[in-house]
């Protein structure tokens, strides 16, 4: 089938963004397009309609391709959980946890079978496949067991584009070095180079591009400028580069940057609000006096709770609440707000029980089975006309110790708020994508500050995301030359 492979000279080169943009370009031309990443390592995950987990970046790419996210688009997802181990998700389902060495011993052949089966199933349904690699395709110590870069490109015989991040410097050396380290049959598949994240006057770069093409004999297909688009990020490295570009805001919201923060894509809809400033705060930083604090999801809830408990942040949170603050926990953050977390099978470490922050009346028990499912439920406390959509990804089951609180949803297990409305918690990822619910929650914060309420009859975040993906394609396509166009033309 027609296919294209996108690899990078380094991690964080912008492969995911370029892949999303190309998916939308092809979809806009009427093609049935599927994104694909054989193996992803990320803590931002999405739950498909079938209840399987994939990397959130592949969900974004599927939406960019105007199709529904499917497990086959990311058959292997590794979720780091500390101590050099990762949870292994194969074909959307948890199959174990492993170290790096054991992973390749136990899962290499199973993984490649899943990758090729997924490619073949997508080929039967779509007429274009746009594949993304991971990290660098030229890591000498890893190439023999690399499942997701040139092994995939060779399986498909896919024309391959090498993306380099010029923002960090050393881009010419990165390109030359990467090409030098590829095997001849791999290098033969590299049909072009894309220079990404360029700032400044392109004419000053032209002589370097001429040299690069002559030296490598690989065309430079385009120079993509630095794009200020709030496309959801793939990993926590992106949080280091985030800074508010808003000159004036009404609400300041702090997100606690837990050591294993997961699904921080939950907060993109808040960042998109013009009246809201979002700041990520580490456990060692001063919390200050934000209008709300969010405890996010975590891949290792018990370990991150222990880190939180033993940091200055725990006392700051309690003091913040006593001074009239508002705290909301999502998923693992919801569990941390409770009385205790039990882990009888020691799934998350060596402690069978840990005390929570004691801010909500619930106890959580970690089990072996993981709950992953999409949800559509009625909101009962902040009522909205249509159902709230979201998804669950959590290991534990929570039981309420009393009912001195408000239920948030018709499914009472999905979240509560105390009577003072100072502490909120929910298991629903994607809750803020629901425009009406998000605005009502923000209006609760605004009322506390004496601010006028915002309009609540607003589109869901999915509509803004669609606009951003269209803008992404329109922003990169003019910077890709005719040689790129020939790669994607029939």
- C-alpha–C-alpha distance, residues 302 and 338, integer Å: 12
Place of tokens 């805001």: 249
Nearest alpha carbon to residue 196 among 359, 17, 67? 17
With residue 279 as reference, give the H or E element that holds it: strand 276-282
* Coil vs helix vs strand at 355: strand
From the candidates 429, 444, 479, 482, which is the catalytic residue?
429
- Answer whether 4's CB lies under 8 Å from 163's CB: no
- Answer whether 62's CB lies under 8 Å from 281's CB: no
Q: Is 429 a residue of the active site?
A: yes
Burial of 218 (0-12, 13-18, 19+ CB in 10 A): middle
DSSP assignment string, 249-260:
-SEEEEEEE-TT
For residue 465, what are its two tokens? 């995301």
- For the chain, the first-to-last Cα distance in angstroms comes to 11
Nearest alpha carbon to residue 357 among 310, 403, 391, 324? 310
CB atoms inside a 10 Å sphere around CB 398: 21
DSSP assignment string, 166-214:
STTS-HHHHHHHHHHHS-HHHHTTEEEEEEEEE-S-GGGTHHHHHHHHH
- C-alpha–C-alpha distance, residues 70 and 34, integer Å: 9
Q: Alpha-carbon torsion 392, 234, 181, 186, what sign?
A: positive
From the candidates 23, 131, 302, 331, which is the catalytic residue?
331
What positions carry a catalytic annotation?
A: 331, 429
């Amino acid at each position: 089938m027609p296919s294209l492979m996108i690899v990078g000279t380094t991690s964080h080169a912008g492969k995911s963004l370029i892949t999303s943009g190309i998916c939308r370009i092809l979809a806009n031309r009427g093609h049935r397009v599927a994104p694909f990443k054989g193996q992803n390592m990320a803590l931002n995950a999405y739950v498909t309609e079938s209840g399987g987990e994939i990397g959130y970046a592949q969900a974004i790419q599927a939406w960019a391709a105007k199709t529904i996210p499917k497990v086959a688009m990311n058959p292997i997802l590794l979720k780091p959980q500390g101590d050099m181990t990762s949870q292994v998700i194969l074909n959307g389902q948890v199959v174990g946890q492993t170290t790096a060495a054991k992973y390749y011993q136990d899962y290499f052949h199973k993984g490649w079978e899943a990758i090729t089966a997924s490619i073949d199933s997508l080929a039967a349904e779509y007429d274009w496949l746009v594949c993304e690699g991971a990290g660098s395709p030229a890591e000498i110590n890893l190439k023999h067991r690399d499942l997701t870069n040139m092994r995939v490109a060779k399986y498909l015989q896919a024309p391959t584009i090498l993306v380099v991040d010029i923002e960090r410097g050393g881009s010419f050396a990165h390109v030359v070095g990467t090409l030098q380290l590829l095997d001849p049959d791999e290098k033969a598949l590299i049909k072009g180079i894309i220079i990404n994240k360029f700032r400044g006057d392109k004419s000053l770069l032209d002589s370097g591009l001429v040299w690069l093409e002559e030296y490598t004999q690989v065309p430079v297909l385009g120079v993509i400028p630095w794009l200020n688009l709030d496309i959801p990020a793939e990993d926590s490295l992106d949080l280091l580069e985030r800074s508010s570009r808003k000159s004036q805001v009404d609400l300041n919201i702090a997100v606690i940057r837990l050591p294993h923060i997961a699904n921080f894509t939950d907060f993109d809809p808040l960042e998109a609000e013009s009246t809201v400033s979002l700041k990520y705060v580490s456990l060692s930083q001063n919390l200050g006096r934000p209008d709300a604090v969010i405890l996010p999801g975590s891949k290792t809830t018990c370990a991150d709770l222990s880190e939180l408990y033993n940091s200055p942040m725990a006392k700051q949170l309690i003091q913040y609440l006593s001074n009239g603050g508002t705290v909301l926990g999502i998923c693992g953050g919801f569990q941390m707000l409770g009385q205790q977390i039990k882990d009888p099978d020691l799934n998350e470490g060596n402690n069978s029980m840990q005390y929570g922050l004691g801010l909500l009346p619930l106890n959580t028990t970690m089990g072996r089975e993981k709950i992953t499912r999409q949800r559509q439920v009625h909101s009962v406390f902040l009522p909205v006309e249509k159902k709230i959509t979201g998804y669950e990804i959590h290991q534990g089951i929570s039981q309420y110790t009393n009912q001195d609180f408000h239920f948030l949803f018709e499914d009472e297990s999905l979240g509560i708020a105390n009577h003072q409305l100072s502490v909120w918690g929910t298991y629903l990822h994607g809750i803020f994508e629901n425009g009406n619910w998000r605005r009502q929650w923000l209006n609760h914060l605004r009322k506390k500050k004496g601010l006028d309420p915002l309009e609540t009859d607003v589109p869901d975040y999915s509509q803004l995301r669609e606009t951003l993906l269209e803008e992404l394609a329109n922003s990169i396509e003019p910077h890709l030359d005719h040689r790129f166009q020939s790669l994607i033309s029939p």
